[in-house]
Structure formats: structure tokens, C-alpha cells
Amino acid sequence: MMETAQNLIERYVYDVTRCLPETERAEVEKELKANIFDMLPEEPDEAAVRDVLTQLGAPRTLAEQYRQKPRYLISPAYYDEYVRVLKWVLPLVGVVVMAVGMLIAGFDAMKDEAVTVVGAIAGILAKGVEMGISAALQALFWTTLGFVIAERSGAREDKNGKPCWSVDDLPEISVNEKAKIPLSDGIAELVVTVVFSVLAILYCRNALPFAFAITGGGLQVYTIFSEAFLAACIPAIAVTAFLAILKAAAKIKDRRWSVPVCVTAVLQQLVSMGLSIYLMTRPDLFSEEFSAFMGTLNMGALSGVPWIGPNGWHPILIVLVVLTIIGSVSESVKVVRLTVKYSK
């Protein structure tokens, strides 16, 4: 058998079995290959293989015939594409709208002088979750409606009522399962980036005090960082969050170690490293009240000694900068290595 013909069979079987649960794939692959070879002549060429595969029909439709638990909420010709669209649309819409809701609630909390810190945080999270879930449900409804309309209109059916499909539509076989990135990884990164970026910006706007101490029987709130430093952090957080969202979106879209994932990941690491070093080396890092408070605890390393003095950088700052560089560079090298290894 010609190598091209054999490759078409392998790609067809792969396209069928990838629509099935992993526990069913091995048995279906064996049975399907046997059926294909039974339908072929003794010395099949590429044309004969194409004819047999065309007779078998669209892989997704055939997969439903093998499936032990059929799914017919959306017809077999549309179901897997429908699920893939939902996996992309629902998290994206939910997270974006959740972030908008948290921002709205955060600005409202800043205007309300009577609200407590705990009340502000609870209100921000509640508003974000409420709007995110509502948006995700609406996205689910409209996506489902769109697929129902597309199916009823028959836009993808030929004159015989069968789904339009050709052998040329067969996908290439996935070379290595280890190259895949779980969908949950991209979604988790997206959620964590949005939530913590919003909270960080609110903190920089003095909406969420961070440090506190119990003195004289009461709770005293201290601002750790200076106002100038916090103002410089806001654009840095925004840039880092934007790059992290791009990386997460690339992971969700490609779901493997591809060039776009590699580029966005390395760019995000290097830019974050540069911004972190810039912020850590600012002479106005700590606020005066926090430095004075640390001085009362005999924490001279953080109070009376500036980060950058006449004799050079403070030892603690040097350690932090070195660790930041090592972590960012090692993570970038790891991403490039994985991309090169699994994209061959």
C-alpha cells in the first residue's frame, strides 16, 4: 500500500477515535481498521482509499455510531464542534465580565466611606461572581441557539441531507500527547490573573489596606508602600496582566506548546522580570509610617537602611533581584525547550 494511502487511513481512524472516550478508543480503532481493509481491494491505491473513506462518511458521524452512550442534544455532525466552542466562549466571557463586575464594585466601594474592608472585599467578589455567572449563562444560551439555527438551516448539508465532508478535511495526527496543554491550565491562569490583578490595582488605589498591627489593644492599619511607588505599580500590573491574559488565551486556543504560546509566555516572563526589578529598585519603595513602625520592632534592615545607598544596593535587594532573574530566565528556557521538543 502506498504511504499516502496508509496515512489517510491512519488520519481517518484518528479523527474518529478522538471523538470517543479514551476507554473506547483502542477497541474502536482495531475494529474500524479491520472494516476499512475489508472494503479495500488487495492492492489499494490512494484513489481506492479515498473512495472507501468517503463511503464511510464524516468521522464525527461515524464516531457516534460507535459511541456506547450516544449524545443527541446537538446532532453528531455538530456536537463536538459545539463543545469546543463552549469551552472557549464560556470561560472567556465569564472571566471578562467578572472582572468588569469586580471593577464596578471596587469603584463603588471606594466612594462609600462607611463600608469596611471586609465588606468591600465581599461586595467586590459577590458582584464579580454574579455578573460572571450571568454572562456565562447568556453565552451558553446564545451559542446553543446559534448551533440549532445552523443545523436547522442545513448550511452544512449536501443535497442528500448528509453533512458535507471530504477526505481532505482530515486532521494531521497528534505527534505527542505530552505536547498538549490541559484546557484547565489556560482557564485557571486566566481567572487567577484577572482576580489578582483587580485586587492589586484596588490595593494600589488605597481601597484595600494590607498591613495591620495590634497596638494598645486596638487595630492600627499601616500602608506598607509609598503612594509614589503604588502609583508606579498600576501601569506595571496592567501590562503584566495583559501579557498574562494573552498567554492564557493562546493556551486555551492552541492547547499545546505552539509558537504563539511560547512567544507570549517568554514575553510575559521577560517583561514581568524587567518591571519587577524596576519597581524593587525604586528608592521610594516603603512608606514613612511603615518604616517607622518596623523601626519600633528593631527591624533595621527594613527601616533605617535605604534599598539603594551611597555604597550600592542593599544585600536584601540584591538577593531579590537575583532570584527574580533566575526564576524568569529558567521559566523562559523551560517554555522554549518544551516548544522545540514537542513541535517537531
Q: Do 109 and 56 have their domain in common?
A: no
Q: What per-residue confidence (pLDDT) applies to 338?
A: 87
Q: Residue 154 above 60 pLDDT?
A: no
Lookup: cell for 14? 484518528
Q: Do 277 and 131 have their domain in common?
A: no
Q: What per-residue confidence (pLDDT) applies to 47?
A: 87
Which residue carries 482557564 as its cell? 187
Range of weakest confidence among 75-89, 242-256, 303-317: 303-317
**187 CB-contact burial (10 Å; exposed 0-12 / middle 13-18 / buried 19+):** buried
Is residue 23, in this structure, part of any structural domain at all?
yes
Q: Do 145 and 282 have their domain in common?
A: no
| Residue 27, domain extent | 3-66
- Of 40, 66, 92, the residue that ends a domain is 66
- Of 49, 66, 83, the residue that ends a domain is 66
Is residue 169, in this structure, part of any structural domain at all?
no
pTM of the complete model: 0.57
Q: What per-residue confidence (pLDDT) applies to 312?
A: 58
Q: Do 308 and 215 have their domain in common?
A: yes
**Each residue's pLDDT tens digit, 243-288:** 999 998 888 888 788 899 999 999 999 999 999 999 988 888 777 7
Q: Do 228 and 333 have their domain in common?
A: yes
* Count of all residues that appear for the chain in the document: 344
Closest CA to 67 of 35, 21, 31: 21
Q: What DSSP element (H or E) covers 212?
A: strand 211-215
Q: How many domains does the chain have?
A: 3
If you ran DSSP here, which 8-state letter would residue 177 be given?
A: G
Q: Residue 169 above 80 pLDDT?
A: no
Q: Do 220 and 310 have their domain in common?
A: yes
How would you label 269-292 residue by residue, b for 16+ Cβ within 10 Å and e otherwise? bebbbebbeeebebeebbbeebbe
Q: What per-residue confidence (pLDDT) applies to 334?
A: 92
Is residue 335, in this structure, part of any structural domain at all?
yes
Q: Do 293 and 266 have their domain in common?
A: yes
Q: What per-residue confidence (pLDDT) applies to 241?
A: 93
- Of 66, 88, 115, the residue that ends a domain is 66
Is residue 166, in this structure, part of any structural domain at all?
no
Number of H helices and number of E strands within the chain? 11, 4
Cα(86)–Cα(333) distance, rounded to whole angstroms?
33
Is residue 99, in this structure, part of any structural domain at all?
yes
Per-residue pLDDT, averaged over 232-236, amounts to: 93
Q: Do 60 and 98 have their domain in common?
A: no
* Percent of the chain with pLDDT strictly greater than 70: 76
